Structure 1
Amino acid sequence: MSRYRGPRLRVVRRLGDLPGLTRKSPRKAYPPGQHGQSRRKRSEYAIRLEEKQKLRFNYGVTEKQLVRYVRKARRVAGSTGQTLLELLEMRLDNTIFRMGMAGTIPGARQLVNHGHIIVNDRVVNIASYQCRPGDVVKVRDRDRSRKLVETNMEYPGLANLPSHLEFDKNTFSGKVNGVIDREWVALQVNELLVVEYYSRMA
């Protein structure tokens, strides 16, 4: 299945607040569709699926990519769920979003894909690039790139900069100082249910 390009507020109504997907908030508090307002008891599978979908839509990854991240997280010692969140949070598009250079993760992905971002003095146009501690991320020294980021910074997606990042608004450059702590993950998700979902699917 390819990346979702449909109405974002419909997804937010279904899954709850997704800070990386959109800054808008829905006018209706119940899920979309004919049976949105009817209260039905959800199965355990439905609950795990919903948590998995939150990750997919918030970080803008395909099902295939998410499966790959889960397998990679399983190979690392420690909590699989926490490692999975770290892998998703340390993606370049999410790092740019958390630094405030873009209002949403799709907006940050567009900045990367169009060659506006430099990592360690090299133009990187791959949104899934894994940032590592010590990486210096900055905006390309071009008027067009700077104007785009300046406009984005007027309406940042999230107000607080996580403790593992630093960003200088004057020079449009930031640095990754470490790996994100669980408490700084903005998305309200139960990562253990996501791991359970994939372990039962295997």
Structure 2
Amino acid sequence: MAVDRVPVLKRCRSLGLDPVYLGIDKKSTRQLRRTNRKMSEYGLQLREKQKAKFIYGVLEKPFRNYYKKADKMTGQTGANLMTLLELRLDNVIFRMGLARTRREARQIVDHKHVLVNGKQVNIPSYQVKAGDVVEIRESKKNSQRYKDILDATGGRLFPEWLDVNQEALQGTVKEVPSREVIDVPVDEMLIVELYSK
């Protein structure tokens, strides 16, 4: 399995991204040395794509597949792409506050701690649908890991498209999120321009 081993704060600096979007509270004190060269149109498009891939932890081939799927759906391709990425199971676990970061959420799913509608799912890219109930397995609910996670994510605000019960470690996807409620700082139109060349 391919793993991105670039230091997170270094990658955030190079993409001009706040680490808070990844669930990381650290701040880098280093400043990125920028030259006064103006970035080309292609450079801007590429950076937006890299930003989206980095935030959601998706590699190039699956990301391109998400784009193709979004292009076939009705409506705007860019908004569809962001919705597909947002409905990944690992992202839903992160949004519910059951993981500190999306990487940790991915690991939780990989380790078979998650049930979707009562069935065990260990695929981080699993597409959750409206009405799905996502929860942590009963045998894992009392573990120290989840107590620590809830202490760290206790004050986190949940998106309006999720109905979360943190004490029971479960939540329901009320609706498919629209682009307006997805608070990710990515200009998806640049990604669409890049892939439609």
TM class by shorter chain equals over 0.9
Cα 1:21–1:65 change in 2 (3 A) is farther
Show structure 1 runs of 4+ deviating over 6 A: none
The answer to whether the 8 Å contact 1:91/1:129 transfers is yes
Partner SS state of residue 163, structure 2: strand
Gaps of 5+ in 2: none
Percent identity, please.
41
The answer to whether the 8 Å contact 1:20/1:157 transfers is no
Cα 1:101–1:197 change in 2 (3 A) is same
- Aligned ranges 1:11-26 → 2 under 5 Å: 11-15=11-15, 16-18=17-19, 19-20=21-22, 22-26=24-28
Q: CA deviation at 1:14?
A: 0.9
Q: Deviations over 1:125-169 (max 9, x none)?
A: 000000001100011111476432221122229822111101112
Which shows bigger deviation, 171-180 or 146-155?
146-155
Which of 57, 70, 74 is the aligned partner of 2:67? Answer: 70
Aligned match of 1:102: 99
Distance in 2 between the 1:81 and 1:157 partners? 32
- Aligned ranges 1:121-136 → 2 under 5 Å: 121-136=118-133
> Does 1:170 find its partner at 2:171?
no
Distance in 2 between the 1:146 and 1:182 partners? 35
Q: TM-score, normalised by structure 2?
A: 0.92
Cα 1:43–1:113 change in 2 (3 A) is same
Query: Number of paired residues?
Result: 195
Partner SS state of residue 125, structure 1: coil
Partner SS state of residue 6, structure 2: coil
1:27 maps to a residue whose letter is T
> Does 1:7 find its partner at 2:7?
yes
Q: CA deviation at 1:186?
A: 2.3
Cα 1:182–1:114 change in 2 (3 A) is same
Cα 1:184–1:26 change in 2 (3 A) is farther
